Amino acid sequence: MNKIIDFIKNLPQTNIIHSLLIIIISFCIYKIISKFFSKSEKRAISAKRLNNKGKTYFRLLNSVLKYIFIIITLLLLLQTNGVNVSSMLAGVGIASVIIGLAVQDALKDIIRGFSILSDNYFSVGDIVIYNNIMGKVLVIGLNTTKIQDISTDNIVSIANRNIEQIQIVSNTVYIDFPMPYEVSVDKAESVITEIIDEIKDFEKVEDATYKGISELDDSGIKYLIKITCSVEKKFQIKRDALHCILTTLEKHKIDIPYKQLDIHQK
Protein backbone atom coordinates (compact mmCIF):
# COMPACT_ATOMS: atom_id res chain seq x y z
CA MET A 1 0.00 0.00 0.00
CA ASN A 2 2.86 2.40 0.88
CA LYS A 3 4.48 1.72 -2.50
CA ILE A 4 1.27 2.72 -4.29
CA ILE A 5 1.03 5.95 -2.27
CA ASP A 6 4.70 6.77 -3.00
CA PHE A 7 4.11 6.10 -6.72
CA ILE A 8 1.13 8.51 -6.77
CA LYS A 9 3.12 11.17 -4.89
CA ASN A 10 5.97 10.90 -7.38
CA LEU A 11 3.67 11.38 -10.35
CA PRO A 12 3.74 14.88 -11.85
CA GLN A 13 0.64 16.82 -10.88
CA THR A 14 -0.05 17.58 -14.55
CA ASN A 15 -0.26 13.81 -15.30
CA ILE A 16 -2.82 13.33 -12.53
CA ILE A 17 -4.92 16.22 -13.83
CA HIS A 18 -4.66 14.96 -17.42
CA SER A 19 -5.60 11.43 -16.30
CA LEU A 20 -8.68 12.71 -14.46
CA LEU A 21 -9.67 14.79 -17.48
CA ILE A 22 -9.34 11.76 -19.77
CA ILE A 23 -11.54 9.66 -17.47
CA ILE A 24 -14.18 12.38 -17.10
CA ILE A 25 -14.29 13.22 -20.83
CA SER A 26 -14.42 9.54 -21.85
CA PHE A 27 -17.20 8.87 -19.34
CA CYS A 28 -19.22 11.87 -20.58
CA ILE A 29 -18.82 10.93 -24.25
CA TYR A 30 -19.82 7.33 -23.52
CA LYS A 31 -22.90 8.49 -21.58
CA ILE A 32 -23.98 10.83 -24.39
CA ILE A 33 -23.63 8.13 -27.08
CA SER A 34 -25.24 5.49 -24.86
CA LYS A 35 -28.18 7.81 -24.14
CA PHE A 36 -28.55 8.49 -27.87
CA PHE A 37 -28.77 4.74 -28.60
CA SER A 38 -31.23 4.25 -25.72
CA LYS A 39 -33.50 7.04 -27.00
CA SER A 40 -33.29 5.71 -30.57
CA GLU A 41 -34.29 2.26 -29.31
CA LYS A 42 -37.27 3.64 -27.35
CA ARG A 43 -38.45 5.68 -30.36
CA ALA A 44 -38.21 2.62 -32.62
CA ILE A 45 -40.12 0.50 -30.08
CA SER A 46 -42.89 3.10 -29.65
CA ALA A 47 -43.19 3.38 -33.45
CA LYS A 48 -43.35 -0.45 -33.65
CA ARG A 49 -40.41 -0.48 -36.07
CA LEU A 50 -38.18 -2.64 -33.88
CA ASN A 51 -38.60 -6.39 -33.43
CA ASN A 52 -36.85 -8.60 -30.85
CA LYS A 53 -33.80 -9.10 -33.06
CA GLY A 54 -33.48 -5.33 -33.49
CA LYS A 55 -33.56 -4.87 -29.71
CA THR A 56 -30.80 -7.48 -29.42
CA TYR A 57 -28.56 -5.60 -31.87
CA PHE A 58 -29.13 -2.32 -30.03
CA ARG A 59 -28.18 -3.79 -26.64
CA LEU A 60 -25.20 -5.74 -27.93
CA LEU A 61 -23.92 -2.60 -29.68
CA ASN A 62 -24.21 -0.74 -26.38
CA SER A 63 -22.20 -3.50 -24.67
CA VAL A 64 -19.49 -3.39 -27.38
CA LEU A 65 -19.37 0.40 -27.11
CA LYS A 66 -18.68 0.18 -23.38
CA TYR A 67 -15.69 -2.15 -23.90
CA ILE A 68 -14.29 0.03 -26.69
CA PHE A 69 -14.39 3.12 -24.45
CA ILE A 70 -12.74 1.23 -21.58
CA ILE A 71 -9.87 0.06 -23.84
CA ILE A 72 -9.35 3.50 -25.44
CA THR A 73 -9.41 5.21 -22.04
CA LEU A 74 -6.84 2.78 -20.61
CA LEU A 75 -4.52 3.29 -23.59
CA LEU A 76 -4.79 7.10 -23.26
CA LEU A 77 -4.06 6.89 -19.52
CA LEU A 78 -0.99 4.73 -20.13
CA GLN A 79 0.29 7.11 -22.83
CA THR A 80 -0.30 10.15 -20.57
CA ASN A 81 1.66 8.54 -17.75
CA GLY A 82 4.76 7.79 -19.81
CA VAL A 83 4.03 4.29 -21.10
CA ASN A 84 5.00 3.81 -24.76
CA VAL A 85 1.71 2.40 -26.04
CA SER A 86 3.09 1.84 -29.58
CA SER A 87 5.88 -0.40 -28.26
CA MET A 88 3.43 -2.16 -25.98
CA LEU A 89 1.06 -2.90 -28.87
CA ALA A 90 3.99 -4.18 -30.95
CA GLY A 91 4.56 -6.85 -28.32
CA VAL A 92 0.97 -8.00 -28.39
CA GLY A 93 1.90 -11.01 -30.54
CA ILE A 94 3.82 -12.64 -27.68
CA ALA A 95 1.52 -11.38 -24.96
CA SER A 96 -1.62 -12.54 -26.77
CA VAL A 97 -0.55 -16.18 -26.44
CA ILE A 98 -0.17 -15.81 -22.67
CA ILE A 99 -3.33 -13.75 -22.30
CA GLY A 100 -5.25 -16.11 -24.59
CA LEU A 101 -4.50 -19.05 -22.30
CA ALA A 102 -5.53 -17.03 -19.24
CA VAL A 103 -8.82 -15.79 -20.65
CA GLN A 104 -10.01 -18.73 -22.75
CA ASP A 105 -13.46 -18.74 -21.17
CA ALA A 106 -13.91 -15.00 -21.66
CA LEU A 107 -12.94 -15.31 -25.33
CA LYS A 108 -15.40 -18.18 -25.75
CA ASP A 109 -18.13 -16.00 -24.23
CA ILE A 110 -17.37 -13.14 -26.67
CA ILE A 111 -17.32 -15.46 -29.70
CA ARG A 112 -20.56 -17.08 -28.57
CA GLY A 113 -22.10 -13.64 -28.06
CA PHE A 114 -21.61 -12.90 -31.76
CA SER A 115 -22.80 -16.43 -32.65
CA ILE A 116 -26.09 -15.82 -30.85
CA LEU A 117 -26.77 -12.97 -33.28
CA SER A 118 -25.36 -14.44 -36.48
CA ASP A 119 -27.02 -17.85 -36.00
CA ASN A 120 -30.19 -16.34 -34.46
CA TYR A 121 -30.23 -18.63 -31.41
CA PHE A 122 -32.59 -16.27 -29.58
CA SER A 123 -33.33 -12.55 -29.27
CA VAL A 124 -34.16 -10.02 -26.56
CA GLY A 125 -37.75 -10.65 -25.46
CA ASP A 126 -37.72 -14.40 -26.18
CA ILE A 127 -38.75 -16.80 -23.40
CA VAL A 128 -36.10 -19.43 -22.69
CA ILE A 129 -35.38 -22.22 -20.21
CA TYR A 130 -31.97 -22.58 -18.54
CA ASN A 131 -31.33 -25.05 -15.69
CA ASN A 132 -35.09 -25.44 -15.12
CA ILE A 133 -35.48 -21.63 -14.92
CA MET A 134 -37.92 -20.13 -17.41
CA GLY A 135 -37.27 -16.47 -18.07
CA LYS A 136 -37.41 -13.61 -20.54
CA VAL A 137 -34.19 -12.55 -22.28
CA LEU A 138 -33.39 -9.00 -21.14
CA VAL A 139 -29.86 -8.36 -22.40
CA ILE A 140 -27.43 -10.17 -24.70
CA GLY A 141 -23.94 -8.87 -23.93
CA LEU A 142 -20.48 -9.81 -25.14
CA ASN A 143 -19.84 -12.07 -22.14
CA THR A 144 -23.21 -12.90 -20.62
CA THR A 145 -26.89 -13.14 -21.40
CA LYS A 146 -29.30 -11.92 -18.70
CA ILE A 147 -32.76 -13.43 -18.26
CA GLN A 148 -35.54 -12.55 -15.82
CA ASP A 149 -37.13 -15.52 -14.08
CA ILE A 150 -40.87 -15.36 -14.85
CA SER A 151 -41.92 -16.95 -11.55
CA THR A 152 -39.70 -14.89 -9.20
CA ASP A 153 -38.54 -11.83 -11.24
CA ASN A 154 -34.94 -12.71 -10.27
CA ILE A 155 -32.25 -11.75 -12.81
CA VAL A 156 -30.06 -14.68 -13.91
CA SER A 157 -26.73 -14.17 -15.75
CA ILE A 158 -25.68 -16.93 -18.15
CA ALA A 159 -22.18 -17.18 -19.64
CA ASN A 160 -22.57 -17.10 -23.43
CA ARG A 161 -20.47 -20.25 -23.79
CA ASN A 162 -23.39 -22.17 -22.23
CA ILE A 163 -25.96 -21.27 -24.90
CA GLU A 164 -26.27 -24.96 -25.90
CA GLN A 165 -28.01 -25.49 -22.54
CA ILE A 166 -30.64 -22.83 -23.29
CA GLN A 167 -33.97 -23.95 -24.73
CA ILE A 168 -36.31 -21.53 -26.50
CA VAL A 169 -39.88 -21.99 -25.31
CA SER A 170 -42.39 -22.29 -28.16
CA ASN A 171 -45.74 -20.50 -28.19
CA THR A 172 -47.75 -23.69 -28.71
CA VAL A 173 -49.43 -26.07 -26.27
CA TYR A 174 -50.55 -29.57 -27.27
CA ILE A 175 -53.16 -31.30 -25.12
CA ASP A 176 -54.51 -34.77 -25.77
CA PHE A 177 -57.30 -36.16 -23.64
CA PRO A 178 -59.33 -39.38 -23.79
CA MET A 179 -63.02 -40.07 -24.23
CA PRO A 180 -64.68 -43.50 -23.87
CA TYR A 181 -65.15 -45.73 -26.89
CA GLU A 182 -68.88 -45.60 -26.12
CA VAL A 183 -68.94 -41.92 -27.18
CA SER A 184 -69.21 -41.68 -30.97
CA VAL A 185 -66.51 -39.76 -32.84
CA ASP A 186 -69.12 -37.31 -34.19
CA LYS A 187 -70.34 -36.48 -30.67
CA ALA A 188 -66.77 -36.28 -29.33
CA GLU A 189 -65.75 -33.85 -32.07
CA SER A 190 -68.87 -31.76 -31.46
CA VAL A 191 -67.89 -31.44 -27.78
CA ILE A 192 -64.29 -30.62 -28.78
CA THR A 193 -65.55 -27.78 -31.01
CA GLU A 194 -67.33 -26.36 -27.96
CA ILE A 195 -64.14 -26.68 -25.89
CA ILE A 196 -62.04 -24.96 -28.59
CA ASP A 197 -64.50 -22.06 -28.90
CA GLU A 198 -64.23 -21.46 -25.15
CA ILE A 199 -60.41 -21.71 -25.15
CA LYS A 200 -60.22 -19.15 -27.98
CA ASP A 201 -61.84 -16.62 -25.65
CA PHE A 202 -59.03 -17.00 -23.07
CA GLU A 203 -56.84 -13.96 -22.59
CA LYS A 204 -53.48 -14.21 -24.44
CA VAL A 205 -54.71 -17.11 -26.64
CA GLU A 206 -54.11 -16.45 -30.35
CA ASP A 207 -55.71 -19.60 -31.75
CA ALA A 208 -56.91 -23.09 -30.87
CA THR A 209 -57.44 -25.94 -33.34
CA TYR A 210 -58.52 -29.57 -33.30
CA LYS A 211 -55.77 -31.79 -34.74
CA GLY A 212 -57.62 -35.12 -34.80
CA ILE A 213 -57.37 -38.51 -33.07
CA SER A 214 -53.92 -38.98 -31.56
CA GLU A 215 -54.16 -42.51 -30.12
CA LEU A 216 -56.45 -45.52 -29.69
CA ASP A 217 -55.71 -46.27 -26.06
CA ASP A 218 -56.69 -49.33 -24.05
CA SER A 219 -59.35 -47.42 -22.15
CA GLY A 220 -60.48 -44.81 -24.69
CA ILE A 221 -59.84 -42.66 -27.77
CA LYS A 222 -57.40 -39.76 -27.36
CA TYR A 223 -58.15 -36.48 -29.15
CA LEU A 224 -55.50 -33.80 -29.74
CA ILE A 225 -55.91 -30.02 -29.68
CA LYS A 226 -53.29 -27.35 -30.38
CA ILE A 227 -53.26 -23.93 -28.66
CA THR A 228 -51.17 -20.97 -29.85
CA CYS A 229 -50.69 -18.42 -27.08
CA SER A 230 -48.44 -15.98 -25.25
CA VAL A 231 -45.27 -17.82 -24.18
CA GLU A 232 -45.23 -16.10 -20.78
CA LYS A 233 -48.75 -17.38 -19.99
CA LYS A 234 -48.26 -20.78 -21.61
CA PHE A 235 -48.42 -22.95 -18.50
CA GLN A 236 -51.34 -21.07 -16.95
CA ILE A 237 -53.25 -21.34 -20.23
CA LYS A 238 -52.63 -25.09 -20.27
CA ARG A 239 -54.03 -25.38 -16.73
CA ASP A 240 -57.08 -23.30 -17.70
CA ALA A 241 -57.59 -25.40 -20.84
CA LEU A 242 -57.52 -28.64 -18.82
CA HIS A 243 -60.10 -27.15 -16.44
CA CYS A 244 -62.26 -26.19 -19.43
CA ILE A 245 -62.01 -29.74 -20.86
CA LEU A 246 -63.06 -31.34 -17.58
CA THR A 247 -66.00 -29.03 -16.94
CA THR A 248 -67.27 -29.37 -20.54
CA LEU A 249 -67.08 -33.17 -20.40
CA GLU A 250 -68.91 -33.12 -17.05
CA LYS A 251 -71.63 -30.91 -18.59
CA HIS A 252 -72.16 -33.49 -21.34
CA LYS A 253 -72.00 -36.33 -18.79
CA ILE A 254 -68.91 -37.84 -20.42
CA ASP A 255 -66.61 -39.65 -18.00
CA ILE A 256 -62.84 -39.55 -18.42
CA PRO A 257 -61.85 -43.19 -19.01
CA TYR A 258 -59.14 -44.77 -16.91
CA LYS A 259 -57.43 -48.10 -16.93
CA GLN A 260 -59.18 -50.82 -14.96
CA LEU A 261 -57.97 -54.19 -13.83
CA ASP A 262 -60.50 -57.03 -14.08
CA ILE A 263 -59.90 -59.92 -11.70
CA HIS A 264 -61.59 -63.24 -12.48
CA GLN A 265 -61.96 -65.61 -9.52
CA LYS A 266 -62.51 -69.34 -10.02
Domain residue spans in the chain? Answer: 2-90, 95-169, 172-251
Q: How many CA atoms lie within 13 A of 229 on its CB side?
A: 25
> Is 177 in contact with 221 (CB distance < 8 Å)?
no
Distance CA 140, CA 257 (A): 48
What's the pTM value of the predicted model, to 2 decimals? 0.54
Exposed (0-12), middle (13-18) or buried (19+): which is 140, by Cβ within 10 Å? buried
pLDDT tens for each residue of 174-233: 999 999 999 999 999 999 999 999 999 999 899 999 999 999 988 899 999 999 998 888
**Fold of the CATH domain 172-251:** Alpha-Beta Plaits (3.30.70)
Distance CA 236, CA 255 (A): 24
pLDDT tens for each residue of 37-64: 777 767 766 666 555 556 666 666 666 6
Lowest mean pLDDT of 114-123, 163-172, 177-186, 247-256, name the range: 114-123
Instruction: Band the pLDDT of 160: cuts 50, 70, 90.
Output: confident
Architecture of domain 95-169: Roll (2.30)
Distance CA 56, CA 146 (A): 12
What pLDDT sits at residue 27? 79
Lowest mean pLDDT of 56-65, 161-170, 178-187, 245-254, name the range: 56-65
Phi, psi of 40 (to 5 degrees): -65, -40
pLDDT tens for each residue of 115-156: 666 667 777 888 888 888 888 888 877 778 889 988 888 998
